[in-house]
Amino acid sequence: MKVHISDIAEFLLAHPADSAFYLHRKNGKLLEQDSIPSDQIQNYAPLPLLAEAQSIVVCWDFIEEIDETEIRHELQVVLRHCDEDYEFPEFTEALYYHGLEEDWETYKEERLQQILADWCEHHNIDYSD
């Protein structure tokens, strides 16, 4: 069976970033660990946390792609003062101020897609975009 990365991404985005979910290796069903019968756990693989695609590392990577030096520098300063709790309101506000919020959302979605593709390959799971 082939899983659709876009379906997994959509599912993860509909839940809190630190929620842990598992994918059934054969039927593609997504469940929380508590919902998996103990005798079935070997059939499931733990998905990466959505928080990985929204981490401070991803913010830094996004900043590196900004061409305008002044904006890049301002965002670096803002990010240096953010907590590493997956919530970066000052960073988000600065992106909005510079009209970069759509670019940021697109970047995060693409990053999540890549994380999920890498995860599928690592777990030998057939996938499509």
Domain coordinates in residue numbering, the chain: 3-49+124-128, 52-109
Q: Encode pLDDT of 72-85 as tens digits.
A: 999 999 888 776 55
Share the mean pLDDT of the chain. Answer: 88
Identify the pLDDT of residue 87.
61
Q: Which strand (E) or helix (H) includes residue 22?
A: strand 21-24
Q: How far is CA 116 from CA 32, 49, 61, 98, in A?
A: 17, 10, 18, 29
- CA-closest candidate to residue 58, choices 21, 86, 77: 86
Burial (CB < 10 A; 0-12, 13-18, 19+), residue 74, is middle
pLDDT digit string (tens) for 107-120? 988 988 999 999 99
Predicted pLDDT of residue 56: 79
Question: Is the pLDDT score of 16 beyond 90?
Answer: no
Q: Span 5-13, mean pLDDT?
A: 90
Please tell me the predicted confidence (pLDDT) of residue 13. 85
Q: How many CB atoms lie within 10 A of CB 12?
A: 22
